[in-house]
């Protein structure tokens, strides 16, 4: 169905009823406003045609196929047709730079990650963390119980030796190792949708557009037969509301102009009658937007657009007889009485909605205006919705995007002009010639009867390089032409060529300066004296200069993945499309079907994990090599660190592994010290025991020796006692005998004494008597010596006297 209304160039009001917004008149007014903004001719052209021509010009420059008429106008001179012989093909300088940037972006791989942020997944994640924290705090006790009773009290599935030792390790474990099954299912689903739509090839075209045009666009949609579709959108066909945001998040309408045939138009809109088709064919109000091709095929320009407005959700709350409330959905015209006795209440809220429309450009017919199905709504805020078009322009200002190619066009023009000038100089350049003095040749006599003519002189000069001349003329005057042949230098063509080459190199350097694509990145031969580190630094700076292009392409990928995730959730809520979608995914991975069936009850945050570039990898590798050289980490740790795509997490893992290695080394050192101490203690104990045993043996030996000595001493003493006893007895008997003998001698002595006494007494008596007699007789002295009695038993002593 189509309608025709009065033309209006302003957008209709949002503050109207939902029924009016859903009407075709409202949609036609929106379409006319969009058409008026983009296709109204100002200064001879429209906004749409101007942007389309500009994008087409940039694409031609990016292909090295820009128009050469301006170069011809620059070089053409009245009456000079020599420029027609020049090679006017543009020098393909810009394509090289574009290929370097686009192909460099394709080398930066990424990995899509889904993070479940709904209450169910958050509760499961919290419970998992609490189990790990409990195991961390009671690790020693649980280990002791497990070793003693063979009963495991650990709640988490992490091996005991792999339990985190700190909150930092726990955080890193949650980022690197923990993944819920529903998150894996979501990632598989998004990746499968991307694979079905060949998103890698589509992304190359988008990266090319961002580099060349400064803007890129991707559209996502859903239909029952094909499922989720991701389409490439040509930026030159886009129409959108004014924005200064690089991410176009504040658009309230967006669409694209499409050129289709009449037959295709009939297929898409079967409600069109033959009369409608005739009116469309006879419609020439579109000017450049509707034309008939030479081959007879008829085409028409249509504009497919999305318009964002709001809708009132109204519910009638009815109080039941049992006291419970019952909600009934109503339209926005529902207005119950506000008295206190009323059993009805009204609850309402405004939510964003998107209307989809299609209109023939330049015509007065709207082909479609309806509320969009399967609108992408983030579960965090169901009042919001996303449009199907995802657009990014990283360097946009006042609605005009700027691209890498647009920076280079002026210098590419100067390079082309320099190249053409160089061709002109080369075409007019003549070789070096010779000057011949005819008078000087005429004065020369060869002496063989022949004349020295110019031809022979030239032959001799070009063949041998020799010249015959005369210093004096035949008249004896000085010969001014003594050197008849002289080489002529051409005009300053070489200086012109050198100057043009210098100019060419200057503009090439200007291209590098304005784009940041220096020699270290564009494939030119680097300076032989430049250090490797300087070259790497230059390449890193070049990557930094074009990083906004990489980030813009990743932003589109991220937003597209978010929309795909939301569409998957919406699709699973509709029974008529759920099975088709699951069957589509089942072509890739049947294992995800179980988990993905519950995907719609979860809310996911989507992010991209970008693989580090060569410079970042080198920095990480330097850290790893330094740690390996100082034995701060093990080889297994280095392998695990290299597998982490996120550079920040890789460095964090490196620090944790280094710290754990130090702790393990310190623990091993303490264990070695303790083992050494125990070994020394055991050695000392063994030495002490040996010494004790030795002392005990020595003491035992000494005791035995002492006992033996004692026994010997006792035996000796006993022997001595026995001997002494015997000696004493012998001595006693001997003494007795001696005593007896002594007594006998004494007795004999006494007896002898008595005898001698008696004898002396007798002698004395006799002598006394003799003395008495002498006195009486008065005689002389008398000798009392014995005469002849001085001998023993007749053996006299006198015989021993000397003779």
Q: At 300, list the tokens.
A: 């028409």
Q: Cα(6)–Cα(63) distance, rounded to whole angstroms?
A: 45
Whether pTM > 0.85 for this model: the answer is no
Q: Write down the pLDDT at residue 394.
A: 92
DSSP category for residue 568: H
Distances (CA, A) of 653 to 114, 169, 634, 689: 21, 8, 13, 51
Q: Please list, in sequence order, all residues whose beta carbon lies within 8 angstroms of the beta carbon of residue 376, skipping any fewer than 6 positions away.
A: 220, 385, 386, 388, 562, 563, 566, 567, 570
Across-strand partners of 112? 608
Q: At 790, list the tokens.
A: 């001085």
Contact 443, 416 (CB under 8 A): no
Q: Write down the pLDDT at residue 490.
A: 61
Q: Write down the pLDDT at residue 778.
A: 66
Average confidence (pLDDT) per 10 residues, the chain, 803 residues: 46 86 90 90 79 93 88 70 75 89 82 83 85 85 84 81 81 81 82 88 93 94 79 93 91 92 86 82 53 52 91 77 72 68 73 91 86 80 85 91 92 90 80 73 67 75 76 72 72 79 90 80 53 47 76 91 82 65 59 62 78 76 84 83 80 83 83 82 79 77 77 77 75 74 74 70 71 69 55 50 53
Q: At 65, list the tokens.
A: 């196929």
Please give the distance of CA 401 from its chain centroid, rounded to a whole number.
32
Contact 289, 225 (CB under 8 A): no
Q: Cα(326)–Cα(346) distance, rounded to whole angstroms?
A: 12
Domain ranges of the chain: 406-523
DSSP code per residue over 104-131? HHHHS-EEEEEEE-SHHHHHHHHHHHHH
Q: Cα(627)–Cα(726) distance, rounded to whole angstroms?
A: 98
Q: Write down the pLDDT at residue 46.
A: 83
Overall size of the chain counted in residues: 803
Q: Cα(325)–Cα(315) distance, rounded to whole angstroms?
A: 12
Q: At 314, list the tokens.
A: 């109204």
Q: Which residue has the tokens 């961390």?
A: 136
Q: Which residue has the tokens 């989720």?
A: 228
Q: Cα(521)–Cα(510) distance, rounded to whole angstroms?
A: 15
Q: Please list, in sequence order, all residues whose beta carbon lies within 8 angstroms of the beta carbon of residue 17, skipping any fewer than 6 positions away.
A: 332, 333
Q: Write down the pLDDT at residue 233.
A: 94
């Amino acid at each position: 169905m189509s309608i025709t209304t009065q033309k209006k160039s302003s957008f209709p009001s949002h503050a109207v009823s939902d029924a009016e917004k859903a009407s075709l008149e409202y949609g036609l007014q929106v379409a006319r406003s969009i058409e008026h903004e983009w296709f109204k001719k100002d200064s001879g052209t429209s906004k749409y045609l101007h942007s389309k021509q500009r994008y087409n010009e940039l694409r031609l420059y990016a292909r090295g196929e820009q128009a050469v008429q301006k170069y011809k106008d620059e070089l053409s001179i009245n009456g000079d047709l020599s420029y027609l012989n020049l090679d006017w093909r543009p020098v393909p300088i810009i394509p090289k730079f574009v290929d370097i940037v686009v192909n460099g972006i394709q080398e930066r791989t990424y990995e899509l990650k889904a993070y479940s942020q709904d209450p169910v997944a958050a509760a499961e994640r919290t419970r998992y963390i609490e189990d790990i924290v409990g195991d961390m705090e009671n690790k020693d006790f649980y280990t002791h119980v497990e070793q003693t009773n063979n009963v495991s009290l650990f709640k988490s599935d992490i091996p005991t030796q792999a339990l985190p030792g700190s909150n930092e390790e726990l955080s890193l474990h949650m980022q690197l190792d923990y993944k819920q099954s529903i998150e894996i299912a979501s990632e598989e689903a998004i990746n499968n949708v991307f694979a079905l739509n060949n998103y890698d090839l589509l992304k190359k075209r988008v990266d090319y557009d961002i580099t060349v045009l400064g803007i890129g666009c991707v559209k996502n949609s859903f239909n029952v037969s094909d499922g989720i579709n991701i389409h490439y959108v040509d930026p030159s066909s886009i129409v959108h509301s004014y924005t200064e945001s690089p991410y176009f998040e504040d658009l309230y309408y967006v669409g694209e102009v499409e050129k289709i045939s009449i037959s295709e138009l009939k297929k898409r809109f079967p409600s069109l009658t033959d009369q409608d088709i005739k009116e469309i064919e006879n419609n020439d109000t579109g000017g450049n937007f509707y034309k008939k091709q030479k081959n007879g095929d008829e085409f028409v320009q249509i504009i497919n657009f999305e318009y964002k407005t709001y809708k009132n959700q109204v519910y009638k709350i009815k109080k039941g007889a049992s006291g419970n409330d019952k909600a009934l959905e109503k339209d926005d015209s529902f207005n119950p009485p506000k008295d206190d006795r009323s059993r009805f209440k009204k609850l309402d809220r405004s939510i964003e909605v998107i209307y989809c429309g299609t209109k023939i450009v330049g015509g007065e017919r709207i082909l479609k205006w309806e509320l969009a199905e399967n609108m992408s709504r983030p579960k965090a805020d169901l009042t919001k919705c996303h449009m199907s078009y995802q657009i990014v322009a990283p360097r946009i200002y006042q609605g005009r995007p700027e691209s890498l190619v647009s920076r280079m066009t002026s210098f590419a023009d100067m390079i082309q002009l320099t190249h053409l000038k160089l061709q002109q100089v080369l075409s007019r350049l003549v070789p070096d010639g010779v000057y011949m003095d005819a008078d000087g040749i005429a004065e020369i006599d060869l002496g063989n009867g022949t004349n020295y003519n110019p031809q022979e002189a030239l032959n001799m000069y070009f063949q041998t390089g020799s010249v015959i001349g005369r210093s004096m003329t035949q008249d004896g005057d000085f010969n001014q032409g003594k050197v008849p042949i002289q080489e002529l230098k051409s005009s300053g063509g070489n200086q012109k060529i050198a100057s043009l080459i210098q100019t060419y190199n200057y503009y090439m350097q200007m291209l590098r300066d304005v784009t940041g694509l220096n020699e270290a990145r564009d494939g030119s031969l680097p300076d032989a004296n430049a250090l490797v580190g300087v070259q790497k630094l230059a390449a890193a700076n070049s990557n930094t200069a074009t990083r906004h292009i990489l980030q813009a392409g990743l932003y589109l990928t991220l937003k597209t993945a978010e929309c795909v995730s939301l569409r998957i959730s919406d699709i699973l809520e509709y029974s008529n499309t759920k099975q088709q979608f699951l069957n589509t995914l089942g072509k890739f991975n049947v294992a995800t079907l179980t988990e993905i069936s519950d995907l719609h009850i979860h809310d996911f945050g989507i992010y991209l994990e970008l693989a580090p570039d060569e410079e970042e990898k080198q920095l990480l590798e330097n850290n790893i090599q330094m740690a390996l050289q100082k034995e701060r980490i093990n080889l297994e740790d280095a392998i695990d660190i290299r597998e982490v795509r996120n550079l920040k997490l890789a460095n964090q893992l490196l620090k944790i592994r280094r710290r754990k290695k130090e702790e393990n080394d310190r623990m091993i050192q303490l264990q070695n010290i303790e083992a050494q101490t125990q070994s020394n203690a055991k050695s000392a104990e063994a030495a002490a025991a040996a010494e004790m045993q030795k002392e005990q043996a020595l003491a035992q030996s000494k005791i035995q020796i002492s006992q033996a000595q004692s026994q010997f001493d006792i035996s000796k003493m006993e022997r001595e006692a026995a001997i002494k006893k015997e000696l004493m007895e012998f001595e006693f008997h001997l003494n007795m005998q001696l005593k007896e003998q002594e007594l006998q001698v004494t007795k004999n002595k006494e007896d002898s004494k008595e005898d001698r006494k008696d004898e002396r007494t007798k002698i004395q008596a006799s002598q006394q008597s003799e003395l008495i007699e002498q006195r009486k007789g008065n005689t002389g002295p008398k000798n009392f010596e014995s005469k002849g009695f001085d001998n023993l038993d007749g053996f006299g002593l006198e015989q021993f006297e000397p003779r």
